[in-house]
Amino acid sequence: MKALIVAADGFEDSELLYPYYRLREEGVEVDVAAPQVGPIAGKHGYSVRANVSFDDLTSDPYDLLIIPGGKAPETVRLSDRAVAVAREMMAADKIVAAICHGAQLLMSAGVLDGRRATCWQGIRDDLRNAGADYADEEVVVDGSLITSRCPSDLPWFCGEIVRAVRNLD
């Protein structure tokens, strides 16, 4: 099993690190993709090394996509490859999990129409305008799509991700 986390400078530290380490605990191989290979800086000072650049990104080897929030999704959604990978993974019914502003990538991919989802309250109207049925809940699961609102929802968010991963085995 292999997971992909897409991020850029300004990611919400806990929303990247918590799922990263929970997946590693489950024995899942995790790649981090960013605009270029090398360190990316979180909003609160943590640094993570991206080992895949957006230019080299493909959905083929991955079973799971994680999209953390913070300011990073505004950068991530500008990458045609990152948008295409999100679209491909949703179309293939692979596990896609977005938290907070991470839903912005899914909005740009045009994959939320008719889906039930949640996000950071500041972009809930954008989520609705993208065709999603917005729910103000800790975690919303709609098939293989998992969404949450904010860092305090991470226990529920990661719980559902781990549940989905275990069901793939």
Q: Which domains does the chain have, with CATH numbers?
A: 2-168 (3.40.50.880)
Does the pTM of the predicted model rise above 0.95? yes
pLDDT digits 0-9 by tens, 24-57: 999 999 999 999 999 999 999 999 999 999 999 9
HSE of 117, CA atoms in CB hemisphere, 13 A: 32
115 and 145 Cβ atoms separated by less than 8 Å: yes
Beta bridge partners of 147: 98, 140
Model confidence pLDDT, tens digit, residues 62-121: 999 999 999 999 999 999 999 999 999 999 999 999 999 999 999 999 999 999 999 999
- Of 150, 137, 166, nearest to 22 by C-alpha is 166
137: Cβ–Cβ under 8 A, 6 or more apart, which residues? 118, 149
Q: Catalytic amino acids? A: 101
Query: Cβ distance 28 to 5 under 8 Å?
Result: no
